[in-house]
């Protein structure tokens, strides 16, 4: 049975019409509450009673550092982080745990009572920015981000514990931010102006800051970091702005650099031979990282999904494999040294902007009574691959959507490619459903016509090197197919064979996280605003709730005490909205980044 929550219509009305102060805040010099010294919290802690008597009430709270009492929050410890896969009280990493499972062993919310879900509370961030963050939950506190804000909320009622605003110290290359990492009492994130910063988890006070990457050269941080022992591991985005990619380890206590691995090599490195004789192209070769990492604690390896080479299409000056772009790297987490890598054969030379975006989940399959450790990888090429962690060999690979002109050379005359530039798997990846032993993947199904330029692209020195003013390394022409052809899918695979068990056809492209639970539920969301709950056994739609914004970020579930909650991030997907508008779609701007917390209504 499809269930529409009565409250959904009230939410949309409130967010669009300003009922009871729930109108999304707009960022400008006069109205922005953060421009005042008092630092207001935005639309905080709206708590909802069950329908039909919907009441909007503002919970009294404060957000300045230290004003609201909070329990000591010096964790999580490394032991807690390493055992996060079995944790049900929180959500300790962007993808729940180091193994990128996105599965939680909770079943208070299940197939029998999911129809009784209702919205408990809502928090709207006081900044107009894209909503792509994966929240972290620790000790009944949610931590999530916008472009400049880091917010700590009570995970049960949305009241604000603290709010911290980063004021840029220089230009900003890319505005997206996809979340924080937490460890040893610190909340760590990257910024759009190339800083790595650490905040006190209890108060939000700035503990340290390090200028790590130069936004004037196109670098910024959009991905969530990973904390392992005394290291913060992170890498910059900005491939289309002409960066030379890398991934690095930094000291958790102060942000000092410890190690660095070049995803695009220096001229003297062995991998430089895969770029042809013109070593000048290495300076702007791309190889950005903008999606979560995974960590194999058993082997001490951190897995890194590396993006595409640039220029994206014009390739005359970069013949060869262009290592280590479009590659899954396995690095020693302590030293950054390369252990091994997997470079898909069809990515031996990329002109399609087919970043490898996902390294995980990491799990085991049983063959003839023996366990085999494996890792799933995926990307914008819309292929799901399973690799053996010991042999590093491909076990199977399956297509997620229709693919066209996969190996066709792109010329100035143009080629129609599927998936297109803005499709496949992007910043959220697959879930490993431990209950049903299946991989559940989401994918964007949309094609493009791509034509290459006739000369190498050049930056205009009179313009700032950021995403808004120039992304010239996306050279030539990329014209997405009409918006009415864009679709999304949720697909469940047998991990032993790659056979498809079921498919769910979404209305439009799926960017949101996919989360599975032992309640036999699969949680995800639509670009059109619906938070969805499917039955994990068959993909049947059990429940949907219209959030009033685009659901394209993290979804988390946790049970800090007696009640299981689900938190959904919704808002506006700024970059993708440009694609929608350019291809004839109507963009419904969802307001500021928002978290809505759900629970089962007491009977």
So what's the pLDDT on residue 456?
83
Mean pLDDT per 10-residue segment, the chain (603 residues): 37 38 30 33 49 31 38 82 98 98 98 97 95 97 98 98 97 94 98 98 98 94 98 96 96 98 98 96 96 98 97 93 98 98 90 96 94 97 98 97 94 95 96 98 96 82 62 75 95 98 96 98 96 98 96 97 98 69 62 95 83
Whether the CB-CB separation of 71 and 139 falls below 8 Å is answered with yes
Which three-class secondary structure state does DSSP give residue 32?
Answer: coil
49 DSSP assignment: P
CA-based Rg of the chain, rounded to a whole angstrom?
22
DSSP 8-state code for residue 126: S
How far apart CA 386 and CA 361 sit, in angstroms, is 10
Domain boundaries, the chain: 6-65+72-600
C-beta of residue 542 within 8 angstroms of C-beta of residue 519:
no
Do residues 385 and 343 lie in contact, with contact meaning Cβ atoms separated by under 8 Å? no
Would you give the DSSP letter of residue 571? B
- The H-or-E segment that residue 261 falls in is strand 257-262
**Residue pair 224/145 in contact by the 8 Å Cβ criterion:** no
Q: Structure pTM?
A: 0.90
d(CA 429, CA 227): 20
CA 570, CA 572: separation in Å to the nearest integer?
7
What is the 3-class SS of 242-265, one letter each residue? CCECEEEEEECCCCCEEEEEECCC
Task: Name the architecture of domain 6-65+72-600.
Answer: 8 Propeller (2.140)
For residues 126 and 394, what is the distance between their CA atoms, to the nearest angstrom? 46
Q: What percent of the chain has pLDDT over 70?
A: 83
Return the bridge partners of 276, or none.
none
CA angle (206, 207, 209) in 5-degree steps: 80
Per DSSP, which regions of 276-355 are E strands?
294-296, 301-305, 328-332, 338-342
Strands 515-517, 103-104: pairing kind: parallel
C-alpha 223/C-alpha 422 separation (Å) is 18
Evaluate whether 341 touches 327 at the Cβ level (below 8 Å): yes
pLDDT at 476: 77
Residue 78: alpha-carbon gap to chain centroid: 23
Q: Please report the pLDDT score of residue 567 as a whole number.
A: 98
Give the tens place of pLDDT for each residue, 68-96.
Answer: 344 455 899 999 999 999 999 999 999 99
Is the N-terminal amide bond of 76 cis, ω within 30° of 0? yes
- Specify the DSSP class assigned to residue 269: S
pLDDT number for residue 487: 96
Q: What is the pLDDT of residue 467?
A: 60
Tally of CB atoms within 10 A around 518:
17
CA-based diameter of the chain, in Å?
71
In sequence order, what are the beta bridge partners of 304?
329
CB 177 within 8 A of CB 189: yes
Helix residue ranges, H only, 47-144: 78-82
Judged by DSSP in three states, 557 sits in: strand
Burial of 517 (0-12, 13-18, 19+ CB in 10 A): buried
Predicted pLDDT of residue 13: 40
Query: Do the Cβ atoms of 350 and 314 come closer than 8 Å?
Result: no
At residue 18, the pLDDT reads 35
Q: Which letter, b or e, does each residue of 530-557 get, where b requires 16 or more Cβ atoms within 10 Å of its Cβ? A: bbbbbbbbebeebbbbbbbbbbbbbbbb
* Three-state SS annotation for 204-223: CCEEEEEECCCHHHCCECCC
pLDDT at 51: 36
The closest of 69, 73, 68 to 39, measured between CA atoms, is: 68
Query: Residue length, the chain?
Result: 603
| Percent helix, strand and coil across the chain, each to the nearest 5 | 10, 35, 55
Please give the pLDDT value at position 455. Answer: 85
220 close to 176: Cβ distance less than 8 angstroms: no
Reference 61, options 72, 47, 79; nearest CA is 47
What would the pLDDT profile of 209-253 be if each residue is shown by its tens digit?
999 999 989 999 999 999 999 999 999 999 988 899 999 999 999
Cα–Cα dist 554/576, whole Å: 16
């Amino acid at each position: 049975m499809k269930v529409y929550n009565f409250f959904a219509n009230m939410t949309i009305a409130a967010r669009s019409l300003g009922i009871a102060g729930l109108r999304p805040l707009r960022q400008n010099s006069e109205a922005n509450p953060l421009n005042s010294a008092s630092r207001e919290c935005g639309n905080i802690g709206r708590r909802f009673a069950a329908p039909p008597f919907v009441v909007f009430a503002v919970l009294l709270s404060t957000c300045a550092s230290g004003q609201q009492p909070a329990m000591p929050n010096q964790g999580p410890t490394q032991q807690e982080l390493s055992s996060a896969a079995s944790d049900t009280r929180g959500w300790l990493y962007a993808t729940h745990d180091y193994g990128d499972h996105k599965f939680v062993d909770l079943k208070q919310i299940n197939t029998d009572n999911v129809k009784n879900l209702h919205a408990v509370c809502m928090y709207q961030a006081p900044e107009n920015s894209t909503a792509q963050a994966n929240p972290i939950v620790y000790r009944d506190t949610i931590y999530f981000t916008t472009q400049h804000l880091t917010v700590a909320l009570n995970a049960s009622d949305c009241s604000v514990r603290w709010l911290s605003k980063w004021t840029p110290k220089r230009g900003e290359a890319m505005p997206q931010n996809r979340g924080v990492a937490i460890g040893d009492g610190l909340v760590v994130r990257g910024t759009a102006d190339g800083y790595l910063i650490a905040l006190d988890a209890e108060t939000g006070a700035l503990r340290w800051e390090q200028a790590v990457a130069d936004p004037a050269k196109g670098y910024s941080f959009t991905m969530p970091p990973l904390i392992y022992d005394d290291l913060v591991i992170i890498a910059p985005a900005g491939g289309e702005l002409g960066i030379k990619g890398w991934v690095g380890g930094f000291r958790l206590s102060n942000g000092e650099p410890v190690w660095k691995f070049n995803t695009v090599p220096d001229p003297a490195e062995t991998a430089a031979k895969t770029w042809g004789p013109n070593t000048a192209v290495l300076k702007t070769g791309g190889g950005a990282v903008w999606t979560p990492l995974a960590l194999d604690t058993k082997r001490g390896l951190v897995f890194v999904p590396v993006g595409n080479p640039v220029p994206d299409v014009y390739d005359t000056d970069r013949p060869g494999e262009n290592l280590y772009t479009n590659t899954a790297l396995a690095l020693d987490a302590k030293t950054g040294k390369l252990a091994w890598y997997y470079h898909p054969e069809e990515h031996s030379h990329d002109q399609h902007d087919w970043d490898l975006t996902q390294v995980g989940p990491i799990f085991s399959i049983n063959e003839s009574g023996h366990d085999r450790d494996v890792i799933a990888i995926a990307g914008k090429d819309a292929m799901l691959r399973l690799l053996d962690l010991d042999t590093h060999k491909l076990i199977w690979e399956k297509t997620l959507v229709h693919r066209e002109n996969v190996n066709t050379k792109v010329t100035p005359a143009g080629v129609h490619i599927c998936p297109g530039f803005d499709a496949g798997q992007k910043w959220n990846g697959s879930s490993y459903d431990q209950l049903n032993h299946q991989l559940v993947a989401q994918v964007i199904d949309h094609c493009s016509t791509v034509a290459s330029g006739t000369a190498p692209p050049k930056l205009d020195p009179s313009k700032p090197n950021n995403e808004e003013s120039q992304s010239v390394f996306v050279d030539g022409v990329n014209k997405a197919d009409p918006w009415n052809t864009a679709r999304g899918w949720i697909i469940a695979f047998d991990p032993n064979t790659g056979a498809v068990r079921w498919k769910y056809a979404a209305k439009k492209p799926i960017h949101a996280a996919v989360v599975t639970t032992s309640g036999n539920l699969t949680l995800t969301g639509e670009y059109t605003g619906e938070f969805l709950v499917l039955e994990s056994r068959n993909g049947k739609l059990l429940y949907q709730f219209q959030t009033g914004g685009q659901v394209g970020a993290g979804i988390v579930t946790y049970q800090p005490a007696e009640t299981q909650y689900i938190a959904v991030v919704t808002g506006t997907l700024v970059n993708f909205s440009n694609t929608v508008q350019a291809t004839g779609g109507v963009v419904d701007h969802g307001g500021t980044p928002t978290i809505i917390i759900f629970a089962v209504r007491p009977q």
